[in-house]
Amino acid sequence: MKTLFTFIVSAFLFSACSQGNAQENITVSELNAIEFNSDDSKVVLDVRTAQEYAEGKIAGSKNLDVLKTDLFTTSIEKLDKNKTYYVICRSGSRSLKAANQMKEAGFKNVVNISGGMQAWEAANFPVEK
């Protein structure tokens, strides 16, 4: 019985750790439905490399490469922590890392985009080059 309890607790802790900081996640369809026209309190933050970003991006998005760790860290410190940031990357992995880092840095509203630009393009949503 003790072994079963230890296994269950270990599985729960592993699951919790792999979830990161449990910030909100939405799909690309949900992101596409959000009105961004004149609302500067909402920002799409693309955390891919500059080259990936140049190959196709969501119109109006901002680019900060999460792989440039020190630059990313200093750059997010300059952002308004009260805005809502919709964080996207190629597939959803780097954006999850970036979103967690932003939450740890004190950002109030950070949303990870599940599936990233791959899912955005697969859904035939507009891409700006």
Residue of 28, 44, 89, 98 marked catalytic: 89
Name the residue with tokens 């919790």: 16
Active site residue 17: no
Amino acid at the residue 110: V
Helix (H) or strand (E) holding 96: helix 93-104
Q: Are 117 and 35 in contact (CB under 8 A)?
A: no
How many alpha carbons fall within 13 Å on the CB side of residue 57? 19
Instruction: Give CA separation, 25 vs 29, 49, 88, 110, 125, in Å.
Output: 12, 21, 10, 9, 18
Query: Which residues carry out catalysis?
Result: 89
